[in-house]
Amino acid sequence: MRVSRPLAALTGVALFGIALTGCQDQASGTITARNGATHVQSLTNPPIKGCHRFDQGVTHVDNFTLSSILLYTTPDCTVPKGQQSVYVDMQASDEVVRSTGPWHSFSFAPD
């Protein structure tokens, strides 16, 4: 049985698309940050690697990506002595505890 060229091409494109999603360097979805009721920043499909700074300190983060994130009070994704980062699972939200102060950066949690 012979396969038509358009069908073969469509199959090839579909397989190529599946292969590309398997080695993504970006998180699928959006991270939204607020300071109180004020919208600060939204990041759509941010890179998985590295440290990401918020434009200013934020007190509420919505993680609508398919990856978990870690929030930091420092701008360089480091954890000050005696403190810890805050884990926010995929499709979840968190608000800052008054004693820790606002978050200034985030990174993606290792798988």
User: What's the predicted TM-score (pTM) here?
Assistant: 0.75
Distance CA 43, CA 87 (A): 18
| Domain assignments of the chain as residue spans, ordered by start | 26-108
96 pLDDT tier (thresholds 50, 70, 90): confident
60 phi and psi, to 5 degrees? -145, 130
- 23-57 per-position pLDDT tens digit: 569 889 999 999 999 999 999 999 999 999 999 99
Of the options 2.60.40, 1.10.3470, 2.60.20, 1.20.1270, the CATH number for the domain spanning 26-108: 2.60.20
